[in-house]
Amino acid sequence: MEEQTAQVGKTRRFRLTGWGKILLSILSTLLVTTVLWCLALGSSGIAMVQTFLLARFAFVDTQADLDKAADAGLYAFVNALGDRWSYYLDAESHQRVSANRANNYVGVGVTVDYTREEGLLVQSVAEDGPAHKAGVVPGDVIVAVDGTSIAGEARMEGSDRIAGEPGTKVSLTLLGADGAVREATCTRATLRSPSASGKMLEGDIGHVRLKNFYSGSSDSFKQEVDALVAQGAVGLIVDLRSDPGGYILELEKILDYLLPEGPVFTQKARWWFQSVYQSDADCVDLPMVVLVNKDSYSAAELLAAQLRESIGAPIVGEVTSGKGYSQITFPLANGGGVGLSTATYCTGSGHSLIGEGIVPDVELELAEGATLGGEDDGQLQAALELLTK
């Protein structure tokens, strides 16, 4: 009995209290987490963390802007990956890009061009937007913003001067078509920017231009095409010139909407199996021609290539960029974001556009000084001829 009692006493002396167990658990978790981070970072990643810590606690200049240094380092790191499609965005750029990809913008609701020396020529005014409510009309020339002239070279900065925070006011000095000068005060607001625009051309040929594949673009595109079909369109020109691409989900919806049943898109990510997306039998049953140029990227290229592959739609314009990689933008702790190429994509048959782009059936450059969609748009006229001959 005495021996058993002594043994029990000995065991009790090494028993951890409740707080001791909690502390041991925390230390164990920290140790495991540290080991995992070290394994994930490797020596180069650890060296980057070490450098930042040394700059914070050992660098002689305590006023050094470490945030600016970190931004520069992240820019350099992503650029050194050697992928022209990956990118780093600082906090301000990330916020602006996110808003643009939502197809929203802060402004007064005018579309302008730079053809007038006196300032910005108003081409269109968004209905019920701030400028519309303030009496701005197409044909007005914005000659000053908040009293500062934007004539001459200064007009190139005019749009930036008009932009600002939602809810703030901006004063526009307008030169009307009648030569009279007047003032209009607008309250900036967040406005929706439609991705697609459509119009009927001669011969009942519908022309729909898609500016991007960002949020809501598929709905905007369908709305314009449906309207043209309802007006009696007998053919369709799909204009993807200067379209930077966008979201795969929006691309898939447009492919499914336009094309008959069959494979329309193939994607292979680093950690996933290859995915092949199918279109159903419902489609837009019209002859089509596609317009592209050297600034047609990503989803725009894939849509053009798939229209040719699925229904034989001829392509007019310039050789495209040849992207073939899709990116995901990952948010970072500093408010910025890093966009990394995470997958390759091909047409439904598996044809890749990487490095080759699209070679149009009719190669034609836009004449110098010509405007997209204007009367001097030779590429549009060539597409129209293919559908009307």
Higher pLDDT, 4 or 303: 303
DSSP 16: P
My answer on whether 200 and 228 are in the same domain is yes
**Residue 61 included in any domain:** no
* Region of residue 15 (left: phi > 0; alpha: psi -120 to 50; beta: else): beta
Considering the domain architecture, whether residues 123 and 202 belong to the same structural domain is answered as no
Of 117-121, 131-135, 358-362, 372-376, give the lowest mean pLDDT range.
Answer: 372-376
Tell me, what's the pLDDT at 7?
Answer: 47
Query: What's the maximum distance between 2 C-alpha atoms anywhere in the chain?
Result: 115
CB 184 within 8 A of CB 172: yes
Q: What is the pLDDT of residue 100?
A: 82
Q: Which two tokens stand for residue 364?
A: 């034609």
pLDDT tens for 268-288 read 988 778 889 999 999 999 999
Boundaries of domain holding 180? 105-192
128, 160, 192 — which closes off a domain?
Answer: 192
Shared domain for 226 and 315, answered yes or no, is yes
Q: Same domain, yes or no, for 183 and 214?
A: no
The pLDDT score that the predictor gives to residue 133 is 94
Q: What is the pLDDT of residues 313-334, one digit of tens each?
A: 999 999 999 999 999 999 999 9
Strand partners, 113: 121
Same domain as 277, residue 128? no
Query: Of 157, 176, 192, which closes a domain?
Result: 192
Q: What local confidence, expressed as pLDDT, does residue 13 receive?
A: 55
Is residue 81 situated within a structural domain?
Answer: no
Q: Which long-range contacts (CB under 8 A, 24 or more apart) does 50-57 make?
A: none
Place of tokens 């290859």: 274
pLDDT of 2 higher than 80? no
Q: Determine, yes or no, domain membership for 71.
A: no
Count: domains in the chain: 3
Domain end call among 192, 223, 239 = 192
Per 3-state DSSP, the chain is made up of helix, strand and coil in percentages (nearest 5) of 35, 25, 40
